[in-house]
Each structure stands twice: as structure tokens, then as C-alpha cells.
Amino acid sequence: MSQSAPNQAEKIQGGSKIVCPDCGHDNLPGADTCEHCHQSLTALSKPKASTAIEKAIFRDTIDVLSPREHPRVSPDMPVGRVLELLVEKRVGCALVVEDDKLVGIFSERDALMRLNTQAALLADLPIRQFMTVSPAALDLSTKIAFALHKMALGGYRHVPITADGRLVGVISIRDILSYITDRLAAPAGG
């Protein structure tokens, strides 16, 4: 006996795989299209907001998070100087820019995973050797829910933000946590 569409939707909401209504293929949770027949699955995987915080996350855009400026560095800047900038500015990443174009990002995670205990020995090498190349950027008008989804899928803690095609700053998971904390502390109905 095959499953009907409502049972498939219940299976989806239960957190298991997304079953394509057209071909019945099991897809990974969060998939935008069916891996087998390429049918759109976005309507099936779209979560429903039930709390005030969830509604705010689905409604509000990144601009309410006030993306902050982060150091912009050349791909040829020594990694040791970039690390100093992160400490001086008290930020978790630097944007690597060449000819006004974002070409990479260097984060605390990059420092830990790529430099680790060798940081002093590698300090004079260019940041381009250690940066994450071609980072995904989001537009200021992107919904916070989409930013969270993108960060979770990519394992990102920092995301560059653009407006009208130009780089305007960075949001971090900490910015989103502050946003949520502020809403939890707000009086009901406010």
C-alpha cells in the first residue's frame, strides 16, 4: 500500500526524509528539489511558524540585525596581521577583498582548523592560502529564517552581507542569538 500525500506531509514534518509527491523518492530534509525527478520540494519543506519568535524570524530581514563592518584585507596580507586585526577589532572574521570584490573570508574557525599550533610559523604567509574562497553572501533584504537555514547547511558562523551588490558588513550567529534573546525578553504583545 503506497502512502498518500497527507501521510507524506506528516512524515516530512516529523523530521525524516522528504518524500517527493511526484516520484516517491526519499530526499534529505531541507532539499529544494527532488534528487530523482527534480520536482520542486520547497512547499513541502517550508516550516510553519507557531510562536511569536518564529513568526518574527520568518518576517524580519537581515537589516534588523544591523550587519557590522569587519576588517577588509587584501589576499596578500600576512596571516599574522589578519589575526592581529581580529583581536584588535574584537570580531570573528575578516573579509578578503580584491578590486572591491569579495574573494574570501577568514574566520576564527579557519585559524583553528588551518593554522592551529603552526600560527607563528605561518604568520608571514598570505591570507589567501588560508581563507575560505568565494564565501556565500546574502542580501540585506534576505529573511532571517533563510540566513539561519543557509548558515546551518553550510556550517557558517559568519555571513557577508550585501546591499545593491556592494558589501555592507557581516552577520554572525551571535547577532541572531542576540535578536532572539531580545525578543524573549520583550513583554508579551510588544
Cell numbers given for 14: 516529523
Of 128, 85, 132, 87, the closest CA to residue 107 belongs to 132
Q: What is residue 11's predicted lDDT score, i.e. its pLDDT?
A: 40
Domain ranges of the chain: 5-46, 62-183
pLDDT digits 0-9 by tens, 64-107: 999 999 999 999 999 999 999 999 999 999 999 999 899 999 99
pLDDT digits 0-9 by tens, 13-41: 445 688 888 788 888 887 888 888 888 87
pLDDT digits 0-9 by tens, 100-144: 899 999 999 999 999 999 999 999 999 999 999 999 999 999 999
**Range scoring the smallest mean pLDDT among 27-31, 44-48, 65-69, 184-188:** 44-48
Give dist(CA 26, CA 135) in Å, integer. Answer: 30
Question: What are the beta bridge partners of residue 172?
Answer: 158
More confident residue, 16 or 7: 16
Other beta carbons within 10 Å of 24: 13
Instruction: In the chain, count H helices and then E strands.
Output: 8, 9
Domain 62-183, CATH 2.40.50.140 — does that match?
Answer: no
Of 106, 80, 87, the closest CA to residue 95 belongs to 106
Q: What is residue 20's predicted lDDT score, i.e. its pLDDT?
A: 83
